[in-house]
Structure 1
């Protein structure tokens, strides 16, 4: 008589059923997550490459976050520097108009307005930190707030409290960019130009202006020495304009550098994402086909085990 079953055969069928069950679970996970597995064991062959790729991607993403913040800062700096350059232009135009009109009426008031605006721009902050203070970001980079304060100082340079350290930032593993602008560098020429006009009006001859004595309040009409003094200050105004525009242009270069850096880093992130996906992600069509195959195999295993469990020698007697 043919033997119906043995214990070892039953165990073999159960083992095969469990393997089919595990295979089905794996395929369900692949279809559900779109990934090759839920841990690195599933992709052991490419695990080191994947970990290295993730590390590079994470580091690049970190640089991008810092560079985006820097881009915001540079935009704010650009606005402030542009404003300072505009004040310098207006200052020179005020001198020219005063000479052309041969009247000093309103000139000092305009100087006060220019100074107030300049001080406000130099005290620009971002997240509570002063942009133009060097690394002393918690301290206002300019200490004067009125004409009296400015005239009481021994020089315009004494009005600045920023340090001499310009801020810099690492853009990637291989490049560091110095982007900081110091209040004293960009603001002192204009502040000094304003101070010289105020000094003269207050009766004090500015440095190098001895030929235009006596100093005194600008009159209407202007005295000859007053006209000559103001004409001489055109050159001082041009220096202030050149300084402000130069700082604005350099800041613009830094803005372009950061924008290009962010573009390159985004391209790198995109490439790394694709590379990672080729390792981690499954072919969905293939995974679905495997899932259906696994379901069929498990169902067949269960049916065979079920039929064997119902068999009896009595059926053959």
Structure 2
């Protein structure tokens, strides 16, 4: 009976030792990784919740990245539109003077500014090209090129569709401004001026004639129409900028919340893990000594 009891006690001590060693391993792993579980298999019933939270956070971060790219494009579009409004303003102001030479010099500078604005690039693509981002949407480089074109609208080769960005599970936004939509009116004004300068009432060189002044006074209204057209797109782009900025913040907050939720589900309490590790080490020492003692128990001392 003594041998049976001793064997049973030794077996129990061995089981306690193995349990304590397992506890040391688990708490040490938590201290090393900072996680409650080595993988989702070890998370048990929490595995599905953790996996779903990771998936939702990845989607939020992806949508945030997409919204930030759209925001960068819109910011660049806003800068380009500002240059385009400056071009229209410069042309209008030049037309109020009575020096033809000055008017044409300013017109060439204003044209270059408008042309460069409409050819603005962001992240390797043309912001006014629509879905066709690999080709400059403006095909003319000088006023002479513009005069040679059949119409002002013919100098644009952008696509007819704007890029589409998915910014949330339920939100797909059409973004951007097309070159021909915003630039045709101002290019038409440049074209008419250049054609007039090259026509029978030209050139605009030195003091203006009465016919030239009459023409310019009438053309100022057309330039103002072009300016207002550009201003409309400035407003539209600004409204979309605000919406996209809101989406960036929303997705950022969502990702932060889900990161916190994941932490609550799988992150270890480091202080508690350290305490468990120390307790487990003590338990290993005690269990090991107990098992050692029980393993050496014998009846020989009592039979001598």
List alignment gaps of at least 5 residues for structure 1.
204-213
Q: How does 1:29-48 map to 2 (within 5 A)?
A: 29-48=29-48
Deviations 1:206-236 (A, max 9, x none): xxxxxxxx63212543221211111101111
- Distance, in Å, in 2 between the alignment partners of 1:277 and 1:233 is 66
The residue number in structure 2 matching 1:162 is: 158
Structure 2 regions of 5+ residues with no counterpart? none
Please identify, of 81-90 and 272-281, the stretch whose mean Cα deviation from structure 2 is larger: 272-281
Distance 1:147 1:262 in 2: 42
SS at match of 1:133: coil
Question: TM-score by structure 1 length?
Answer: 0.90
For residue 297 of structure 1, the aligned residue among 273, 283, 288 is 283
The 5-angstrom pairing of residues 222-233 of structure 1 reads: 222-233=208-219
Deviation at 1:5, TM superposition (A): 5.5
CA-based RMSD:
1.8
Residue 312 in 1 paired to residue 298 in 2? Answer: yes
Does 1:179 pair with 2:165?
no
Q: Say which SS state the counterpart of residue 36 (structure 1) adopts.
A: coil
Per the alignment, residue 193 of structure 1 pairs with 189
Partner of 1:58: 58
The corresponding residue for 2:149 is 153
SS in 2 for 1:28: helix
From 120, 123, 138, give the equivalent of 1:124: 120
Corresponding residue of 1:49 = 49
Please say which of residues 150-159 and 12-21 is displaced more in the overlay: 12-21
Q: Aligned to 2:130, which of 120, 130, 134?
A: 134
Aligned equivalents of 1:295 and 1:44: distance in 2?
A: 26
TM-score (norm 2): 0.93
Note the C-alpha offset of 1:308: 2.3
Report the equivalent of 1:261.
Answer: 247
Matches of residues 98-117 of structure 1 in structure 2 within 5 Å?
98=97, 102-117=98-113
* Alpha-carbon distance in structure 2 between the residues aligned to 1:18 and 1:57: 39
Write the distance in 1 (CA, Å) between the matches of 2:270 and 2:259.
18
- The one of 183, 191, 202 aligned to 1:216: 202
Q: Which contiguous aligned blocks of 4+ residues in structure 1 show a shift greater than 6 angstroms?
A: none
Mapped to 2, the partners of 1:27 and 1:3 lie a distance apart of 36
- Of the structure 1 ranges 77-86 and 143-152, higher mean CA displacement relative to structure 2 is found in 143-152
